Structure 1
């Protein structure tokens, strides 16, 4: 049999705990979804060559961001491109 424990907590403290928990969950979700992948990680993910990845970029099939002289890819955008069949993996 499962028992319940009831404790008295001021409403302000209860609301504060809920806000902290929601912020933590949303923050973790944003970190996971917005992870940036390097070109090497994308090539490994799709088992493709540098040339193929460059062609996908040139053809607009895969969105990318340039930071300084390095190219990065949003994990969510890469997965969306795969889901909408803009890019087809050779082998997964």
Structure 2
């Protein structure tokens, strides 16, 4: 008896109606959207942003962040070997303060 999942004669392993397929697809899309929303909420609740998150929020390059650090526009915080930026400082920069 062969228990492998190969299907050499190209018969479907199972069949779904169009409605069942659409329900499965909608369920997957809902899960993905919910996960994105959860990630966005957790990102918004952070006190500090990474360089990547900061550059994405402000739509600037790492070079610009470096130049802003040198000129005192944004002050990074080092935690170990990582560089972070205060959420409040990033948001105030977004508002143009």
Deviation of 1:50 after TM superposition, in Å, equals 1.1
**Structure 1-normalised TM-score?**
0.51
Tell which structure's C-alpha radius of gyration is larger.
2
Aligned 8 A contact 1:65 1:71 in 2: yes
* Structure 1 gap ranges (5+): 1-30, 87-92
In structure 2, distance between residues paired with 1:73 and 1:54: 12
* Structure 2 gap ranges (5+): 1-43
Q: Does 1:72 align with 2:84?
A: yes
Aligned residues: 54
**Structure 2-normalised TM-score?**
0.48
Structure with the greater relative contact order (CA < 8 A, sep ≥ 6): 1 or 2? Answer: 1
Equivalent residue number for residue 62 of structure 1 = 74
Distance 1:56 1:39, change over 3 A: same
In structure 2, distance between residues paired with 1:75 and 1:38: 10
After superposition, the C-alpha distances for 1:6-51 in whole angstroms (9 at most, x for unaligned) are xxxxxxxxxxxxxxxxxxxxxxxxx93x621000001111221111
Give the RMSD, CA atoms, in angstroms: 2.0
Deviation of 1:82 after TM superposition, in Å, equals 3.1
In structure 1, distance between residues paired with 2:57 and 2:94: 11
Question: Is the partner of 1:61 in helix, strand or coil?
Answer: coil
